[in-house]
Structure 1
């Protein structure tokens, strides 16, 4: 849709984002001879209880400490406004995924949803790389020895290894999987990628071995590391279950930087406790924040990360640039990047 100069576009932003990128949005609108109104969550409803919002940006400061399972202000206020904006056309999310329930709810009403996929892909991939290094070199045991002021060399530990020729399965071939693959191949590790359409890449990426989801079970038993870097979809929900853990190597590791629901968490706990796999790095969980009483906190072969794999000092700016890019595309009726489809 190309807005006419007589149309005023109302954009919902946090107060901080209005101050930070508002002028950039106004300049883009002015170049197209279009009017724009920047609104914050303090906007008052009409007498009928509705709001005049056309576009909205759910930025990191709006999400705040909220999770999918524990919504807090100001996110609750944003959701209320969006649900009561009959002229809402487009919502942009600061996250790489759109698996929060609000997004399919809005899309069912015809609202376009875009994400910030790619903004933190390198950070997430490098976190997964760091996890592989930490697990394979037993960094956790070193940290524990340091806390006890104990000099405990990892001599004769069969679980401390070099990484050359170790086998890594990456599930997901988005920006995260691609960056991680590059890093691992630079370390002479053997990479196997699981993706929905491996044939799509056979001509351009013939140097990377790829398989489809239907072949996962026949290959996972050979892997030293299993890295989850895929979006949460109907296909990937509970993809890694008790059956998968039962055929993985007992000295293998799981790294999850995707979504907690990709893994059957009870099956994971059982696999870790019974040493069906040797350890895990977990950045995401089925319910967040992770229950303080969860046994995962105390398992010696687990490293817990509080859904922070993608955070870095320039992340917010990278997300904002994607939104600004999409805003310019939107007002000119052009395709936006990272548009979600279910």
Structure 2
């Protein structure tokens, strides 16, 4: 008998479908709420951490639900596998679990399409100056984008995409449909379709002079944290743009503010920040041609179902003793 740890909400939503996916009598449910209230170790063998557990948590503001789930996981000595809903596994607890021999699997790929769509929408909106037009509309001002104020054509512009996982590859494909050039940046310079060129992280500054758009969609790691900084922005063309749908710590926020205020960067779409929620006093809220979104680039009504599909696939693999999909130990 395998004991599955999950939230009471997840059991209500998916419990019946999980039960019919395994032979009768081979799996039991344990809710995080029950396990947290009980004394002593948890009996969980596997765990499924769904979105409502993390809810509105951020690295600096974990919610009670997340703290509670973490506490149960930590007191589960027989835990062998944890499925999480994000595409990245940067939180310290995941490293601690892996050090114990627990397999941690992500939902990489489940949000690739929605994040790519958000990025595509942002590229078009910022390039076509929609934030400035919306501001003019609020002021009831008729301000045509004519002559030197006209937007550049996107066709022929170059996007340097940092991160070549499912999200980065989807972004590259969509931008290619607009006639844009794409250069990928990843751990190695191994070619990745559909990018015309791929370089390793340490070669980023070699391609930044071509970057009309710097798009961040990579995991947070010692290599990528702070990779978008003042030196990187200085290497980019005047009037370039920044998009961050990765993690807040990938970009140095004060450097981002400085280059947007100076006009070195002409616009940005920022979905993630060093500290979340973004401070109400941050200048980013009021900068022209900047789109701020509250870490929602991946959200859609179908997202949870896609994540659940990955969990069911991994549950079948776990029971069969097969390699798990999106095993963090194998993602590099």
Q: CA deviation at 1:150?
A: 2.0
Match of 2:3 among 7, 10, 24: 10
Q: Distance in 1 between matches of 2:146 and 2:38?
A: 73
Q: Distance in 1 between matches of 2:156 and 2:10?
A: 46
Alignment match, 2:175: 184
Match of 1:130 among 121, 129, 143: 121
Q: Distance in 1 between matches of 2:38 and 2:293?
A: 46
* Structure-1-length-normalised TM-score: 0.91
Q: CA deviation at 1:44?
A: 4.3
Alignment match, 2:304: 316
Alignment match, 1:56: 47
Alignment match, 1:253: 241
Alignment: residue pair count: 330
- Deviation track 1:73-115 (CA, whole Å, cap 9, x = no partner) reads 2112111111111111111111111112221122122211101
Report if aligned partners of 2:159, 2:180 keep a CA contact under 8 Å in 1: yes
Query: Kindly tell me: are residues 192 and 47 of structure 1, through their superposed partners in 2, closer, same or farther at Cα, counting changes over 3 Å?
Result: closer
Query: Kindly tell me: are residues 100 and 207 of structure 1, through their superposed partners in 2, closer, same or farther at Cα, counting changes over 3 Å?
Result: closer
Q: Distance in 2 between matches of 1:90 and 1:20?
A: 21
Query: Kindly tell me: are residues 148 and 114 of structure 1, through their superposed partners in 2, closer, same or farther at Cα, counting changes over 3 Å?
Result: same
Alignment match, 2:252: 264
Q: Which has the higher contact order (CA 8 A, sep 6+)?
A: 1
Q: Distance in 2 between matches of 1:93 and 1:66?
A: 14
Match of 1:101 among 87, 92, 102: 92
**SS in structure 2 of the partner of residue 113 of structure 1:** strand
* Structure-2-length-normalised TM-score: 0.94
Structure 2 residues not aligned, in runs of 5+: none
Q: Alignment RMSD, CA only?
A: 1.8
Structure having the larger proportion of residues in helix: 2
Q: Distance in 1 between matches of 2:36 and 2:292?
A: 43
Match of 2:22 among 25, 29, 35: 29
Alignment match, 2:198: 210
**SS in structure 2 of the partner of residue 119 of structure 1:** coil
Report if aligned partners of 2:129, 2:289 keep a CA contact under 8 Å in 1: no
Structure 1 residues not aligned, in runs of 5+: 1-7
